[in-house]
Amino acid sequence: MKRILKISAIVGIVVIGMSATMSPRNKYFEILKNLEIFTNLYKEINTYYVDDVDPGQLMRTGIDAMMESLDPFTNYISESEIEGYRFMTEGKYNGIGAISQQIDSFVTIVELYEDQAADQAGLKPGDRIISIDGKDAVGKTPEQVNNILRGFPGTEVELEIQRPGEAAQFKVSITRTEVEVENVPYYGMLNDDIGYVALTTFTRNAGKNVGSALKALEAENPNMKGVVFDLRGNGGGLLTEAVNVSNVFIPRGEVVVTTKGKVKEWDRTFSTMGNSTDEEIPVVVLINDRSASASEIVSGVLQDYDRGVLMGQRSYGKGLVQNTRDIGYNSKLKLTTAKYYIPSGRCIQSVEYEDGEPVDIPDDRRTPFTTRNGRTVLDGGGVKPDVVVDKFTDASIVKSLIDQHLIFDFVTAYFSGVDSIDSVEDYRFDDFQAFVDYLDAQAFQYDTESEKLLKKLQKASQKDGYDLTEEIAALQQDIKASKKDALQKNQEVIIDLIEKDVASRFYYQKGKIKMGLRNDKEIEEAIALLNDTARYNSILSGQ
């Protein structure tokens, strides 16, 4: 049944899309015809299908099929999802102030916002939500649980909690509040000369907060000679805040971004409107493959105007603009209405996707543009840094530890009953053997990329009639031997992840960021560049 509806929805979109080349009259006829077909189909299934169906879920299946046939950023936002949408745009929502993930069959608290309702009620990372207001929550998704936890401020919700290390479950009543999450959770000095500002999302007042952070650093450190602006992992947000953040570093009246779409009346050019905070201080902008949208506008703008040096990995590649349209019953449609172009004239949109993720576009397939100083930059496939730094790690074992939540679970168990640690600056995790023993007790296993490829080779060789049994067995033994050393080879990376997890539990997001800076190779590279004025200037001049 779902398959029938999904196919019909996609067919409807295809027919409407094909009619785009028709005359307006014929196009409107095709729209009305397909709407009538869809309505009749929906009615017939609800009336005569052999089993009872949920009308709302049935329609949601059809809506989701339509969305999937477009781009990954065009979405239907139902009434129950409005609080999540509000959080993405405003940095606030009504709820209890906790981040959760599904671990095994349980929605588990993984991080708390400082002094918010969940924190004040005594919840801790690692707590499993067993029931909500007496209704079973085991096996539910975080989205399903959050839809219940988010509600009007002042209302209460009762959670039944299972805490690792404690035999008895317990109940706790939490009063919902308006949760506001800082978009600049931390700024400070990396050493005597170099400042640091982290921006995690482009919600309201992002530009104001970045500007205030930079002013504070300069006021407290008049001899500061450079700043690291961290946009790693920042998935974007409001386009207007991308303009405001750019305005922190570039003067009034500079073009930041131009949007162009089907409805020409909506095409707009956004320029900086206010006075900058500092147009001279050297800036290194850190980006990675999870820096997207507004992050790419800001980093691309600073690159196009040769205002700062970009460092890290190529960004995500989202050069699309979304607008929201009210569609009744407190629901919205967030749809792509335009592409955006930064000052050099380039659009950084990735043109190829695989499973909803952008596919890397080779440089020889990207169109060249030039910055204000005449440096060559490329369109499509994200923003390429001026200084490319390899990822901290791509090791399969580390990815598996994260995906299986084993670092998180270890920290939960290791620090059970611990109420405090040394300051972030002084704390060191020095019991790596305890982690190794924990993995042994959990019978930890993982597949390397080589093993995955080897399994594919084994299937392909059997299909083609080749006998590679001995060769594959020998390779499997070699891989097995090397895997024994993988933990020790990645000890530094794993300890860094453990320490950041520990810091987040006792010092929240600010502590996690501060802890991460201590072992951050990209931060070391950025400091070295800002201390090398000749190299910094030569990069921006294109020499």
User: Is residue 526's pLDDT more than 80?
Assistant: yes
Q: d(Cα 256, Cα 303) in Å, to the nearest integer?
A: 11
Least confident of 118-122, 289-293, 344-348, 391-395: 391-395
Is residue 4's pLDDT more than 50?
no
Q: What is the DSSP string of 197-213?
A: EE---B-TTHHHHHHHH
The pLDDT assigned to 93 comes to 77
Q: What is the DSSP string of 384-424?
A: PPSEE---S---HHHHHHHHTTHHHHHHHHHTTT----S-T
**112 by DSSP, 3-state: which?**
strand
**Lowest mean pLDDT, pick from 132-146, 451-465, 482-496, 503-517:** 451-465
Please say whether the dihedral angle defined by the alpha carbons of residues 235, 238, 239 and 240, taken in this order, is positive or negative.
negative
Question: Residue 170 and residue 160: Cα distance in Å, rounded?
Answer: 6
d(CA 500, CA 516): 6
What whole-number distance in Å separates Cα of residue 181 and Cα of residue 369?
A: 37
Q: Which amino acid is at 504?
A: S
User: Token pair for residue 179?
Assistant: 């949760």
**Residue 125 has which token pair?**
């990372």
Q: State which amino acid sits at residue 266.
A: W
Q: Which residues contact 122 (CB under 8 A, 6 or more apart)?
A: 172
- What amino acid positions are annotated as catalytic residues? 293, 304, 318
Q: Where does residue 515 rank: exposed (0-12), middle (13-18), buried (19+ CB within 10 A)?
A: buried
- Helix (H) / strand (E) element for 283: namely strand 283-287
pLDDT at 448: 72
Distance between alpha carbon 159 and the CA centroid of its chain, in Å?
28
195 or 365, which is more confident? Answer: 195
Which pLDDT band, with edges at 50, 70 and 90, does 89 fall under? low
**Predicted pLDDT of residue 470:** 78
In percent, how much of the chain has pLDDT > 90?
A: 60
Q: Answer yes or no: are the C-beta atoms of 153 and 95 closer than 8 Å.
A: no
Closest alpha carbon to 234 in 513, 3, 33: 513
Per-residue pLDDT, 415: 94
Copy the structure tokens of residue 11. Answer: 């067919």
207, 184 contact by CB (below 8 A): no
**pLDDT surpasses 80 at 175:** yes
Query: What pLDDT is stored for residue 365 in this prediction?
Result: 84
What does the DSSP 8-state code read for residue 70?
A: S
For the record, the structure tokens of 471 come out as 């060769």
Q: Which is nearest to 301 in space by CA: 258, 333, 364, 331?
A: 258
C-alpha 177/C-alpha 156 separation (Å) is 9
Taking the C-alpha atoms of residue 151 and residue 166, their distance in angstroms, rounded to an integer, is 29
| Strand partners of residue 174 | 157
Q: What is the pTM of this model?
A: 0.82
Closest residue by Cα to residue 387 from 259, 536, 188, 235: 536
Give me the pLDDT at residue 192, please: 95
- From residue 374, give the alpha-carbon distance in Å to each of 306, 309, 381, 401: 9, 15, 21, 45
With both helix axes pointing from N to C terminus, report the angle between 533-541 and 521-530 in degrees, rounded to the nearest 10.
90
Radius of gyration of the chain (CA): 26
Amino acid letter for position 50? V
pLDDT at 6 exceeding the cut of 80: no
CA–CA separation, 427 vs 505, rounded Å? 13
pLDDT surpassing 50 at residue 224: yes
- Residue 260 is given by DSSP the state E
**pLDDT-derived band at 9, boundaries 50, 70, 90:** very low
Distance (Å, rounded) from C-alpha 460 to C-alpha 534? 54
Local structure of residue 317 (DSSP, 8 states): -
**pLDDT score for 17:** 44
